Amino acid sequence: MSEILAADAGPFATAEPTPEQAIARREIRSAIEKAVDQLPPYFRSVFMLRAIEQMSTEETASCLGIPAETVKTRFHRANKLLRQALTTQFGAIFDDVYLFLGARCDRLVATVLQHIGVSAELPSTMPHSDRRASYRTPP
């Protein structure tokens, strides 16, 4: 039965991670755990109950004996601190993910406009920074 389910999973089937993926996951998990451990205790307790234990705002407030609004504020601030800590550590990885410079940007824009039925004429004699697309709908 499990073989049938695995065969029917299609593109969402999960394969065994490669050794590189396993190491990367372990490093990311370690970095997240370290960042959570470094949160101030009043943020960490709220974060652990809300994000890890999946408690509601009201349940967390009752458990900690604080108002629900305080839970919301602390959870938001904990997320912000975690995001900052992880961006510091992993931010450089994502610097080049969505670079759209020069010709690549022009190709991407032209493709998108073609798919939505609008054409763009970009004069190739102008420097890229001075180009302004003139958009017109096809007849």
Domains of the chain: 2-94 (1.10.10.10), 102-136 (no CATH)
Predicted pLDDT at 95:
65
With a cut of 80, say whether residue 47 has pLDDT above it. Answer: yes
With a cut of 90, say whether residue 99 has pLDDT above it. Answer: no
Predicted pLDDT at 133:
47
With a cut of 50, say whether residue 21 has pLDDT above it. Answer: yes
Mean pLDDT of 77-94: 87
Whether 39 and 83 have beta carbons less than 8 Å apart is answered as no
